Every structure is written in structure tokens, then in C-alpha cells.
Amino acid sequence: HIRSLEVERHVSQVARISGVRRILVQKQREIIQEGGWVVEGRDIGSVVCPQAILKIFLTASSEERVKRRREQFHRGPTSLTGVELEDVEKEMNQRDWLDSTRDDSPLIEPPDSLRIDTTGKSAEEVVEEIMAAYGRSRHAGRHN
């Protein structure tokens, strides 16, 4: 599972390998070139699809992100022990640092993206904000 603890612990190390990044970015571009896709990822709006008409940059406080990650792991196929839960914030911060400082496709907030702070918001509230932004961009004639 892509959101599993095992994947989370290794993804940044793999993402730092330039050859892997180049191949995956090219493959993602091939898949989305026809349009009509909603894609998610740390470098989608800045590297993979910088020409996207609507870019959303989601953020949340560290506390909120840790809370959500813990809930995610508790719902998953394996349950975490107390020790592992204590490591969630440390590992999350380490991944943020690694992704922000890598040479290829560093984690950045695209200047033309809409920043949404999701702290304290439900998934439904965030979706409503995104849909409103999409509606505004459609009204402005930015979409077909």
C-alpha cells in the first residue's frame, strides 16, 4: 500500500535518485498529457505538470499532520505500537526536510498555486474549498 509505514519510511531516499525521478516524471507526464486528470503529489504542480490550470498546495500544522498520520496508520492493515507512534512526527519532519532539499524536484510551493491550510478542517470542507476554486477558475474561462 502506497501510504504504508514501510513505504513512508523509504520513499524520500528513493525519490532522491535522479534517474528514478526522471523516469517517473516522464511517465507521469505521458499519462496526464491528454488532460482531464486530478493528480496528487509533492512535485506535481512545480515539476510534473507546471502548466496545470489549477494548482492546490495543501498544508497543515505539524500537530494536525501527526494526528492525521496516526489515525491513518490505526485504520490501516497494521496497527502501530506506542514507540512507533512517537516516531511519526520525527519521520514526517525528516521526509519534509529530505524532499525540500533534494537536487531534483525539491518540494516547493508553486507561486501560482492556491494555498489551503487544512488545519482543523474536515476532508469535506477542504473539498468544498477546492471545488469553489475550480468553479472560480471555470467562471474566469480558464478551463474547457
- Judge if pTM exceeds 0.75: yes
Grid cell, residue 110, equals: 508553486
Q: Give the mean model confidence (pLDDT) for residues 127-135.
A: 95
Can you tell me the mean pLDDT for 41-70? Answer: 90
Q: pLDDT-derived band of residue 16, with 50, 70 and 90 as boundaries?
A: confident
Whether 144 is covered by a domain: the verdict is: no
CATH number of the domain bearing residue 116:
3.40.50.300
pLDDT tens for each residue of 80-97 = 556 566 777 888 888 888
Task: Output the nine-digit C-alpha cell for 46.
Answer: 512545480
The pLDDT score that the predictor gives to residue 144 is: 45
Residue 121 included in any domain: yes
State the residue range of the domain holding 127.
5-139
Among residues 135, 101, 106, 134, the alpha carbon closest in space to that of 45 is found at: 106
pLDDT band at 106 (very low <50, low <70, confident <90, very high): confident
DSSP structure string for the chain: -TTSHHHHHHHHHHHT-HHHHHHHHHHHHHHHTTS------TTIIIII-TT-S--EEEE--HHHHHHHHHHHHHHSSSPPPHHHHHHHHHHHHHHHHHHHH-SSS-----TTSEEEE-TT--HHHHHHHHHHHHHHHHHTT---
Q: How confident is the model at residue 54 (pLDDT cuts 50, 70, 90)?
A: very high
Determine, yes or no, domain membership for 89.
yes
Percent of the chain, pLDDT > 90?
40
Q: How many domains does the chain have?
A: 1
14 is a domain residue: yes
Q: Is residue 26 part of a domain?
A: yes
